Chains A and B, each alone.
Chain A
Amino acid sequence: MEPKAQKEGEEKPLTRAEAEKLVSEMRDLIGDAFKNHRDGDAEEYLFREIVPMGKKGARLRRGGGGSRATTNR
């Protein structure tokens, strides 16, 4: 089964000029956000911000006496 977005025209190919314009638009939107980008930023963010949130959530569920389905036994 094809994903819905693909059926509705996602696959319509862009011309080179259209694609270059889109990249340029994205560059303008993003501005200087990546100015201080370093290799490994995504992984640092993942393990600093997202993984600890999951661990905290797991502790809360265990401490809160969750259902059998959600309690980590």
Chain B
Amino acid sequence: MVVPVPLQIVDTVVLIAALNRNDALYKRATEHVVNIGLRRDIFVPSATLLELDLELKAHGRNLEARLEDHSRLQRLIPGSRVLPITPGVLTRATELSMTAATWRASYFDTLIAATGLEFGADSAITTDRKFAKLGIEPVF
């Protein structure tokens, strides 16, 4: 009998914490990022990667710098570990926006949570407790 393994999704805050030497949680966050390529149950929503790119832009990383960043990230996060944004994800995100996502700055959180719900994740690796309101248990 095959027992389904619960999926976990990775929130952007984990990637940022792993890459931020000033973050007190960077060691734990690094473990999670390393596990993306080593374990079969951890997935990265496309919205997480998009938010990370915008974070890099917002914090002054120019094109050449982001080329360096993403070429390394490509090796850390194989394509098979990335979950796409599909019409189903957008439907769920819209539903969440209508019901649960009422706080400021919730656009990417909503897309990330919706991706998890659409693909059957039961938890999100994040320090953001707001994910619980979106139906995904935050774990870190």
Contacts and interface: CB of A to CB of B under 8 A. Distances in A.
Interface of A: 3, 5-6, 10-11, 13-14, 16, 19-20, 22-27, 29-35, 37, 39-46, 49
A33 B59 contact: yes
Contact of A34 (B30, B59, B73): B59
Contacts, number: 109
Interface residues of B, number: 41
A6 B79 contact: yes
Among A6, A13, A29, A39, the one with the most B-chain Cβ atoms within 10 Å of its Cβ is A39
B37 interface: yes
Q: Give the secondary structure class of A's interface.
A: helix
Contacts of B72: 22, 25-26, 29
Contact of A43 (B52, B60, B79, B105): B105
A29 B68 contact: yes
14 contacts: A3-B79, A5-B74, A6-B78, A13-B78, A16-B34, A20-B34, A26-B72, A27-B26, A31-B21, A37-B20, A42-B54, A42-B58, A45-B55, A46-B54
